[in-house]
């Protein structure tokens, strides 16, 4: 199942697949990250009530991403990552590890920086109308300003990584035909 190789035709076989849990966490987190980037960037010029409503969803979704990422990390600790197919060039292997490390770091640090920013700005985070998250610190305008800047910088870094990740996946699928994407295909 999770370790079965997948026949791709033309004599190529992909590496074993990730577990179903890892695959679904990947796609849930990935779609949530893309939605959150869109909420942050595309609602900026909208009327204040619309923008604030979108930011409420953005904040709650950010917390959801944080929780799902922690679940994914815990899951990954107990489940070995399938090896890359032999068709993946040696120079891409360490690059892949660096990009994945940066993703995990940002998936943790980006929501935490937003939470810290909102805490320092004395603006509680409402989790989809269910409850408010506790503040991490007391009101501190200087810290709020700093965390705002860092949150935006990390958000732009995440956007760049998402674009690189999608382009690399498309390259592996349609140019290289390496079979690497089959490891994360949910279907």
pLDDT at 6: 40
- How many structural domains compose the chain? 1
Q: Is residue 167 part of a domain?
A: yes
Q: Please state the φ and ψ torsions of residue 133, each to the nearest 5 degrees.
A: -75, 145
Residue 181, burial from CB neighbour count under 10 angstroms (0-12, 13-18, 19+): middle
Q: Is residue 89 part of a domain?
A: yes
Q: Is residue 10 part of a domain?
A: no
Using CA atoms, how far residue 107 sits from 132, 152, 161, in Å, is 21, 14, 11
pLDDT at 7: 40
pLDDT at 14: 44
pLDDT at 2: 38
Verdict on whether the full-model pTM lies above 0.85: yes
Please calculate the CA angle 122-108-166 and round it to the nearest 5 degrees. 120
Using CA atoms, how far residue 33 sits from 9, 72, 138, 162, 177, in Å, is 33, 14, 28, 9, 26
pLDDT at 187: 87
Tokens standing for 39? 């909420």
Q: Is residue 11 part of a domain?
A: no
Tokens standing for 107? 């998936």
Q: Is residue 7 part of a domain?
A: no
Q: Is residue 36 part of a domain?
A: yes
3-class DSSP state for residue 79?
Answer: coil
pLDDT at 112: 98
The domain in which residue 122 lies consists of 16-184
CATH number of the domain within which 124 lies: 1.20.950
How far, in Å, CA of 26 to CA of 20, rounded? 10
Residue-by-residue pLDDT tens, the chain, 187 positions: 333 444 443 334 444 899 999 999 999 999 999 999 999 999 999 999 999 999 999 999 999 999 999 999 999 999 999 998 888 899 999 999 999 999 999 999 999 999 999 999 999 999 999 999 999 999 999 999 999 999 999 999 999 999 999 999 999 999 988 889 999 999 8
pLDDT at 29: 98
Q: Is residue 44 part of a domain?
A: yes
Residue given tokens 């993703």 in the structure block: 103
Q: Is residue 160 part of a domain?
A: yes
pLDDT at 71: 98
């Amino acid at each position: 199942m999770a370790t079965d190789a997948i026949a791709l035709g033309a004599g190529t076989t992909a590496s074993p697949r990730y577990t179903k849990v890892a695959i679904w966490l990947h796609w849930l987190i990935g779609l949530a990250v893309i939605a959150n980037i869109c909420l942050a960037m595309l609602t900026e010029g909208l009327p204040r009530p619309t923008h604030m409503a979108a930011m409420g969803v953005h904040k709650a979704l950010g917390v959801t991403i944080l929780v799902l990422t922690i679940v994914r990390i815990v899951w990954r600790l107990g489940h070995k990552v399938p090896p890359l197919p032999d068709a993946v060039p040696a120079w891409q292997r360490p690059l892949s590890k660096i990009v994945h490390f940066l993703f995990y770091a940002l998936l943790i640090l980006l929501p935490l920086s937003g939470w810290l920013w909102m805490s320092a700005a004395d603006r509680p985070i409402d989790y989809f109308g269910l409850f408010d998250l506790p503040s991490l610190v007391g009101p501190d305008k200087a810290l709020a300003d700093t965390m705002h800047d860092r949150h935006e910088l990390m958000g732009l870094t995440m956007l760049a990584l998402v674009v690189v990740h999608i382009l690399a996946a498309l390259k592996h699928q349609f140019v290289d035909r390496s079979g690497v994407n089959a490891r994360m295909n949910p279907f």
